[in-house]
Amino acid sequence: MSPITGADLIATTLKNLGVRVVFGIVGVPIVEVGEACIAQGIQFVGFRNEQSASYAASAWGYLSGQPGVCLVVAGPGVVHALPGVVNAQENCWPMVLLGGSCETYQRGQGAFQEFPQVAACRPYTKYAFQPPTLDQLPATLTRAFHTSIVGRPGPCFVELPGDFIKASTASLDSMDHDPSASALVIPKPIQPLTTLADPAWVTQAVDCLLGAKAPLVIIGKGAAYARAESAVRALIQYTSWSFLPTPMGKGVVSDVHPQCVGSARSEALKRADVILLLGARVNWMLHFGQQFGFKAKLIQVDISPEEMGRNRPVDIPLVGDIGEVVTQLNDALVSRELPPVSSEFRKLLTPSIHRNQEKLRDLLAEDTVPMTYHRVYNEVKQALGADYHRTVIVNEGANSMDIGRVVFHCELPRHRLDAGTFSTMGVGLGYSIAAKLYYPDQLVVAVMGDSAFGFSAMEVETAVRARIPLIIIVMNNGGIYHGVSPEGYDRLANRHQLPPTALSQDTRYDLVAQGLGAKGYHVCTPEELRQALLDSLKLLGESPQVQVINCVIQPGADQKINFAWSNTGKQARL
Ligand code: ADP
Ligand code: MG
């Protein structure tokens, strides 16, 4: 029976909690924790900046349904990781941030990287705690994991003091055999809880839906997170109701399903008389409910009772797990006679659907050099061929994301990661790395704006070193939203008058990537892009390469900045 250290105890507890991968950056005092994790068979992915590591952990939480773990040093490490914590909070994803800290006996003395971390994390977490003694560390970690996934998922923080990490304790063997012999007990992970909606409300919901002329199901990323796809698909199939996915709710039911009215989004929101909202908040992404018809009835399904009726009065609140609640609805519907679905609603939406689909077809075929966003997406779609629907798409940037959301259809849930509720730019590499680790057999393609790529480009080296194959397409328009025309760029730069949105379009992201050990491609025409895509897919079949395609597109100079989501009709007054 060999003595174990605090670091071993932490790693053993994480292993016990089912952790497979830890994202982070080590340093004093947590190097030993990283090493102990590896000794336990947990993969440690070392990043170049804690920000990306924390984004990776948040995405892992969403994809796996288990808290993504991020391990960082004290002070600046924790501060750099806060973006991922806030991102997880805003998206309702489970995550546990583990931050080192100074020795407990040095607290308050201006110790190395000392910082009020628990206080800093508290506003953004469900639980933030420093275990007061080493023997409480396993229970604290277990509590953090449990809290992170029960109810509405979210991030938690646990502080790991340096003296606890280094301390040597009793042997784990003795604890396993006779827990009472030691104060150190590693608690068993608590099983997830199931929550069902009040049956009386379920009956009312079914009555309401069966009486609707224009029922609309809105499928949010909460439904994707809840792994509710089989129940939701059964509901849509059985009822023939129209549905509309939110950007990350895409794929819970296939985007190419005939009942998907995503191409007539605004019309559908306006015309529906009963809306069944599955795991989406009535926030900016749903225009605070202001686009819903004035008289439309709202049936809201969410795990969080606090969410009910926010921004829009709720007629029927169904609090519970989406998979479970939709199963309750399905069971209740089976025993009832379904009225034939009114074709009126569909008829109202059809012109919009046709108009928008036609418009999209024209945009996809645009044949210009430099290329348009649409043209690039079309080439990517064609190159992926049959694999296109199974590909995990990581999409960030302004136009890159907006257009990608429309052009790329999802057939599978949790196969699209974008900037999400917090509209976070800089998530691309962290998300892509987490996605490929979670889906080792699937192709992960990141399509990012040039600005977005800049936030996390150094993490290309992380992916190369960890042998995580990715294809990254940088939509290089030389700017945030839009760039400056090549003629205008020099003129304005000479006068130090470049607009705040400008970036240098001459930046060779492919060469940057090459310097970091990836393969780079520089493309300016559809033909070059097609060839680069084919080459990169072929290469991927041969070795686990990271590949970056620097795709020069139209700068879109002088175009108005258009952000459809923020069109609320109300203007601030001076
Ligand atoms: P979207 O980005 O698609 O609009 P949101 O992130 O705004 O989605 O909303 C997701 C919602 O899903 C949150 O309100 C969250 O409480 C809820 N949610 C998360 N997990 C579950 C679950 N298992 N069952 C029900 N609701 C859930
Ligand atoms: Mg750009």
Is ligand 1 within 6 A of the CB of residue 225? yes
- Could you give the residue ranges of the DSSP H alpha helices within 65-95? 76-91
Query: 47: CA distance to ligand 2 center in Å?
Result: 25
Residue 102 has pLDDT above 60, yes or no: yes
Is ligand 1 within 6 A of the CB of residue 251? no
Is ligand 1 within 6 A of the CB of residue 465? no
List the structure tokens of 486.
Answer: 């090549």
Which residues sit with Cβ closer than 5 angstroms to ligand 2, an ion? 449-451, 477
| Residue 181: per-residue pLDDT | 45
Residue 74 has pLDDT above 50, yes or no: yes
Is ligand 1 within 6 A of the CB of residue 70? no
The model's confidence at residue 566, banded by pLDDT at 50, 70 and 90, is: low
The model's confidence at residue 494, banded by pLDDT at 50, 70 and 90, is: confident
3-state secondary structure of 256: coil
- Three-state secondary structure string covering 17-28: CCCCEEEECCCC
Handedness of CA 333, 336, 341, 342 (dihedral sign): negative
Ligand 1 atom with the shortest distance to the CA of 248: 3
- Could you give the residue ranges of the DSSP H alpha helices within 292-398? 322-334, 343-364, 373-384
Each residue of 313-352: pLDDT tens digit? 999 999 999 999 999 999 999 989 888 777 788 888 999 8
Mean pLDDT for the stretch of residues 213-242: 97
Nearest Cα neighbor of 513 from 551, 554, 553, 486 is: 551
Length of the chain: 574
| Residue 132: per-residue pLDDT | 94
Ligand 1 atom with the shortest distance to the CA of 245: 3
List the structure tokens of 36.
Answer: 């102990």
Whole-number Å distance between alpha carbons of 116 and 75: 8
| Residue 557: per-residue pLDDT | 78
In the chain, the amino acid numbered 210 is L
Mean pLDDT for the stretch of residues 66-90: 98
Model confidence, pTM:
0.95
- Phi-psi bin for 217: left (phi > 0), alpha (psi -120 to 50), beta? beta
List the structure tokens of 181.
Answer: 């012999």
Is ligand 1 within 6 A of the CB of residue 322? yes
**Considering only 254-268, 461-475, 482-496, which range has the smallest mean pLDDT?**
482-496
Whole-number Å distance between alpha carbons of 286 and 292: 9
Closest C-alpha to ligand 1, atom 20: 222
Is ligand 1 within 6 A of the CB of residue 405? no
Query: 395: CA distance to ligand 2 center in Å?
Result: 13
Is ligand 1 within 6 A of the CB of residue 227? no
Cβ neighbours of residue 160 under 8 Å, at least 6 residues apart?
6, 10, 29, 30, 33, 98, 99, 100, 101, 137
Query: 311: CA distance to ligand 1 center in Å?
Result: 16
Element (H, E) at 406: helix 399-407
Whole-number Å distance between alpha carbons of 217 and 232: 9
Query: 443: CA distance to ligand 2 center in Å?
Result: 24
| Residue 177: per-residue pLDDT | 42
Cis peptide before 29 (omega within 30 of 0): yes
- Three-state secondary structure string covering 480-501: CCCCCCHHHHHHHHHCCCCCCC
**Cross-strand partners of 44:** 22
Whole-number Å distance between alpha carbons of 181 and 87: 42
Instruction: Report phi then psi at 317, rounded to 5.
Output: -90, 125
Query: 277: CA distance to ligand 1 center in Å?
Result: 10
Whole-number Å distance between alpha carbons of 395 and 453: 11
Each residue of 116-153: pLDDT tens digit? 999 999 999 999 999 999 989 999 999 999 999 999 99
Is ligand 1 within 6 A of the CB of residue 250? no
Query: 477: CA distance to ligand 2 center in Å?
Result: 5
pLDDT more than 90, % of the chain: 83
Task: Quickly count: other Cβ atoms within 10 Å of residue 255's Cβ.
Answer: 18
Instruction: Report phi then psi at 398, rounded to 5.
Output: -85, -80
Ligand nearest to the CA of 288: 1
Query: 490: CA distance to ligand 2 center in Å?
Result: 18
DSSP-derived letter for residue 29 is: T
Cis peptide before 370 (omega within 30 of 0): yes
Angle at 69 between CA 63 and CA 73, to 5 degrees: 145
Mean pLDDT for the stretch of residues 486-496: 88
DSSP-derived letter for residue 371 is: B
The mean pLDDT of the chain is: 93
Residue 305 has pLDDT above 70, yes or no: yes
Is ligand 1 within 6 A of the CB of residue 421? yes
Ligand nearest to the CA of 224: 1
| Residue 563: per-residue pLDDT | 62
Query: 572: CA distance to ligand 2 center in Å?
Result: 28
CA dihedral of 383, 385, 387, 389, whole degrees rounded to 10: 110
List the structure tokens of 341.
Answer: 């679905």
Nearest Cα neighbor of 478 from 556, 380, 574, 398 is: 556
Ligand nearest to the CA of 225: 1
Element (H, E) at 299: strand 297-302
pLDDT more than 70, % of the chain: 94
| Residue 343: per-residue pLDDT | 79
Burial of 311 (0-12, 13-18, 19+ CB in 10 A): middle
Helix, strand and coil percent figures for the chain, each rounded to 5: 45, 15, 40
Each residue of 449-487: pLDDT tens digit? 999 999 999 999 999 999 999 999 999 999 999 999 888
DSSP-derived letter for residue 416 is: E
DSSP-derived letter for residue 249 is: T
List the structure tokens of 260.
Answer: 């998907």
Angle at 136 between CA 135 and CA 137, to 5 degrees: 95
Mean pLDDT for the stretch of residues 526-544: 95
Is ligand 1 within 6 A of the CB of residue 289? no
**What is the residue-wise DSSP string for 183-195?**
S---PPPPPPP--
Each residue of 9-54: pLDDT tens digit? 999 999 999 999 999 999 999 999 999 999 999 999 999 999 999 9
Ligand 1 atom with the shortest distance to the CA of 302: 26
Each residue of 172-222: pLDDT tens digit? 555 554 445 445 667 777 777 889 999 999 999 999 999 999 999 999 999
